[in-house]
Amino acid sequence: MLSGEQTLAGRFGTHHTVRVAGALIVLLCVVAVLAPVIAPYSPAAQLDIVALKNTPPSRAHPFGTDWFSRDVLSRVIFGARVSLSVAGLSALLSTTVGTAYGLAAGYAGGRVEQMMMHLLDALLSIPRVLLLVAVLALWQPVPLPGLVLVLGLTGWYGVSRIVRAEVRNASSREYVLAARALGASNVRVVLRHLLPNVAGPIIVATTLGVANVIVLEAGLSFLGVGAREPNASWGTIFFTGGSSPTDTWWVALFPGVAIVVTVLAFNVLGDALRDILDPRQLHSIGSRSSD
Amino acid sequence: MAERRAPSPASGPPRSSDGASTAPLLSVGELRTYFYTDSGVARAVDGVTFEIGARETIGLVGESGCGKSVTALSLLRLIRPPGRIEPGSRILFEGRDLTTVDEKAMRAVRGARIAMVFQEPMTALNPVFTVGDQIAEVVRVHGAGSRREAWGRAVQMLETVGIPSPAQRARDYPHQLSGGMRQRVVIAMALVMNPALVIADEPTTALDVTIQAQILELLRDLQHRFGTSILLITHDLGVVAETVSRVIVMYGGEIVEHASVDELFARAHHPYTEGLLSAMPQVGQQRERLATIPGTVPPPTAWPSGCRFHDRCPYAWDRCVTEHPPLYQLGGGHTSRCHLADEPARRAEVHEPAVAVLGGAGGTPGGSRAGEQDNVSERKAIS
């Protein structure tokens, strides 16, 4: 007897890229959570402003030190907390808002859906980066929850489009009509019958969204409107070293590598999830094991 | 207006012999369901009147696009915009008019008092839940028991519909069951709240013939045990012959003939019913091709004038083009929407139907294709 979950779990296991990317992301999260334990120094401690200013990587400081004689390794480790939590939370916020909007539009149908999608088109026509810069420039210094809010509320359009398309597809299935015919309320139909059937694309969109936000947040930090000291993200650290990359390459290199590796891991994971959670492929597995 | 008055309640359909004293379980009066589409108003159901008695099984027959399924969905008020049930329609059920009750009361009727069995058991079941969960969900929706009780009812129901080792099967997902098993699950979902009326919309169409017989047998058996009334929607007169007591034939959104099943097979009156009967394959008959009714059902946005069947009818004469026929009483509760009841001599004058003369196999001029598209958009609007 082959059950649906076992099959799905089996596909996760055999997918090597997912394993590698997933393991890497788990590792990064562990590092972020355990930062105070792992990091050799405090990220803000100016160790010796005279002797340890801008020293290259050494045994004592594997990632070197920066202009203020702070340990770059410790800063990158603590930066993981900021980068990952800002990206993760705002992607989650985007997904929640986008899913709710997409579900509502797709299930409502008719004129309501048309108006909601027109509104979405209007919102999509505003360049995200410019909007973010404008809002953040007015909101300075922005606290981290504020940053999450602003990033999250400008990133849900794509998700809601995906969800709306999936809902339209799923709600033409007879089981949605059947659920209504058996007395389920609209809310129940949407949450219990539609949402689980559109979960795959939502998970993929969220994963890719995290990667997107990490890059975006780094860019905003470069423009001086992102994460600020003492909550330095990888982006913040990178661009403190970016002013003199030839002399103090280590200050920029290590947070840069952290950004690239993390974004790559999330993108790879997202793409692999897209393959794994494809409902058509799930369906083909279903028909193979039936009858 | 005269034509609307013909199917008055006093001259209603024949009652089942035992239930003569009681009021009918369901009484549908002048039901009109229109879809306001971009290509015009689709009058999918256009003035349908019938009754179903307690413990009675009646058949609703017609080609695709005749309004059978829309009638069924209207009874449960599951028509979504741009479709709507027109004012003046009546759906009297257990002492209430379902066209006027609020949505909450309607939800309490759906699944609990009137349940529906769908055609395609694969798509009627949610792929991401176990079948036990889905049956229990119906109980939960109607607040009729705790999670544990609902699961118990689900397992019990699976046993009732003849699924072996129900406790294990309840944990299976729909794709792990065969087509016949799935349809049994769908029936279990419909019957778990012991409804007074089950609407079965082509419940056997997606199944192979041997399974079809089993499912029909199951429906009959359950009806005897639970005392449920059944409205059986089908385009298969063979299914009707062995299952129901009365038959309603629909064409063009209207009832065109209404009779007891024996009467219908012995003395079909309406040319459309005749066509359906002669299109049935018969054992022992040596023919290369099955007989068909020429043309296709016209689009519901543009029913033909007069009698809606006139362009496909081998008897039609000028009166049929101009005058919409009422439901003529033929005695014994047999009614037919055909002017032949008025001028029976015309039955001798058989000719090629207008569609065959005008457009060959293509149906009404430019109509066939548009009709199909219309049906598609209609289905979308419903779901």
User: B252-289, pLDDT tens digit by residue?
Assistant: 889 999 999 999 988 888 999 988 888 877 777 666 66
CA distance B383 to chain A (A): 6
B17: left (phi over 0), alpha (psi -120 to 50) or beta: alpha
pLDDT band of residue A14 (cuts 50, 70, 90) is: low
**DSSP line for A218-254:** HHHHHTTSS--TTS--HHHHHHHHTTSTTTSHHHHHH
Closest CA to B59 of B293, B255, B299, B214: B255
Confidence band of B379 (pLDDT split at 50, 70, 90): very low
Structure tokens at B101: 């009750």
Query: What DSSP character marks residue A71?
Result: B
Q: What is the mean pLDDT of residues B359-374?
A: 43
Residue pLDDT, tens place only, A216-233: 998 888 788 888 877 888
At residue B20, the pLDDT reads 45
Residues in chain B closer than 8 A to A181 (CB atoms): 76, 78, 110-111, 115-116, 118
pLDDT classification of A1: cutoffs 50, 70, 90: very low
- Give me the residues of B, 210-269, that contact A with CB < 8 A: none
Task: Give the β-pairing of B229-234 and B197-201.
Answer: parallel
Record the tokens describing residue B190, joined without a space: 């419909």
Widest pairwise Cα distance in chain B: 67
- pLDDT-derived band at B154, boundaries 50, 70, 90: very high
DSSP assignment letter at B74: H
Residue B342 predicted with pLDDT over 90: no
> In chain B, where does DSSP find H-type helix?
2-5, 68-75, 103-109, 121-124, 131-141, 147-160, 166-169, 179-191, 209-226, 237-243, 261-266, 271-278, 318-322, 354-359, 367-382
Q: Which of A2, A183, A197 sits opposite B142 (nearest CB)?
A: A183
Residue A285 has pLDDT above 70, yes or no: no
Residue A231 confidence (pLDDT): 83
Banded model confidence at residue A242, pLDDT cuts 50, 70, 90: low
Helices and strands of chain B, counted as H and E runs:
15, 13
pLDDT of residue A259: 92
Q: Provide the angle, in degrees to the nearest 10, between the axes of the packed helices A199-222 and A249-276.
A: 170
Residue B175 touches partner A, C-beta closer than 8 Å: yes
CB B299 within 8 A of CB B289: no
Q: Is A27 exposed, middle or buried (0-12, 13-18, 19+ CB in 10 A)?
A: exposed
- Provide, as residue numbers in chain A, all residues whose Cβ is less than 8 Å from the Cβ of B124: 174-175, 178
> What is the reported pLDDT for A258?
92
Identify the domain containing residue A82 by its residue range: 28-39+71-290
The domain total for chain A is: 1
Interface of A with B in 19-78 (CB under 8 A): none
At B32, phi and psi to the nearest 5?
A: -125, 125
Q: How far is CA A88 from CA A152, A157, A266, B279, in A?
A: 10, 17, 11, 64
Q: Looking at the partner chain, which of B107, B116, B123 has a beta carbon nearest the beta carbon of A175?
A: B123
Mean pLDDT of the residues in chain B: 81
Percent above pLDDT 70 for chain B? 85
The whole-number average pLDDT for the span B118-134 is: 85
In a domain, A18, yes or no: no
Q: Is residue A180 part of a domain?
A: yes
Q: Would you place residue B248 in the very low, low, confident or very high pLDDT band (cuts 50, 70, 90)?
A: very high
Angle at B204 between CA B115 and CA B116, to 5 degrees: 10
Share of chain A above pLDDT 90, in %: 30
**Alpha-carbon dihedral sign for residues A48, A53, A59, A61:** positive
Mean predicted confidence (pLDDT) in A92-115: 90
Q: Is A240 contained in some domain?
A: yes
On whether the CB atoms of residues B347 and B315 are closer than 8 A, the answer is: yes
Q: Are B117 and B199 in contact (CB under 8 A)?
A: yes
Chain B contact for A5 (CB, 8 A cutoff): no
Alpha carbon distance B264, B257 (integer Å): 9
Give the separation between CA A285 and CA B225, rounded to whole angstroms. Answer: 38
For strands B90-93 and B26-37, give the pairing.
antiparallel
Largest CA distance in chain A: 77
Contacting residues of B for A169, CB less than 8 Å apart:
none
Q: Does B124 touch chain A (CB under 8 A)?
A: yes
Q: What angle do CA A152, A156, A162 make, to 5 degrees?
A: 155
Burial class (CB in 10 A: 0-12, 13-18, 19+), A185: middle
Residues above pLDDT 90, as percent of chain B: 16
Per the CB < 8 Å rule, is A173 touching B82?
A: no
What is the structure's pLDDT at B376? 42
Confidence of residue A210 (pLDDT cuts 50, 70, 90): very high
At residue A57 the predicted structure's pLDDT band, cuts being 50, 70 and 90, is: confident
Residue A53 lies in a domain: no
User: What's the gap in Å between the CA of A197 and the closest CA on chain B?
Assistant: 7
CA A52, chain centre distance (Å):
36
Nearest chain B CA: its distance from A101 CA (Å): 20
Burial (Cβ within 10 Å: 0-12, 13-18, ≥19) of residue A21:
buried
| B123 with A171: Cβ contact below 8 A | no
Cis peptide before B82 (omega within 30 of 0): yes
Q: How close does chain B come to A88, measured CA to CA in Å?
A: 27
For residue B115, what is the enclosing H or E element? strand B114-117
Nearest-by-Cβ selection for A110 from B78, B81, B125: B81
In a domain, A5, yes or no: no
CATH of the domain at A203: 1.10.3720.10
DSSP secondary structure code for residue B87 in this structure: T
Q: What angle do CA A84, A88, A94 make, to 5 degrees?
A: 150
**B148 CB contacts (<8 Å, ≥6 apart)?**
none
Q: Which residues of B touch A178 (CB under 8 A)?
A: 116, 118, 124-125, 186, 189
Cβ distance of B81 and A109 shorter than 8 Å: yes
CA pair distance B337, A118, nearest whole angstrom: 48
**Average confidence (pLDDT) over B295-311:** 86
Calculate Rg over the CA atoms of chain A: 23
d(Cα A205, Cα A163) in Å, to the nearest integer?
10
**Is B35 within 8 Å of chain A by CB?**
no
B129 touching chain A per CB within 8 A:
yes
Q: Within 10 Å of residue B252's Cβ, how many Cβ atoms?
A: 23
- A162 lies in some domain: yes
Residue A290: closest C-alpha in chain B: B176
Mean pLDDT calculated for residue range B46-67: 88
Q: In this model, does residue A118 exceed pLDDT 90?
A: yes
Q: Is residue A263 part of a domain?
A: yes
* Interval B133-152 mean pLDDT: 88
Domain assignment present for A46: no
Structure-block tokens of residue B59:
């058949």
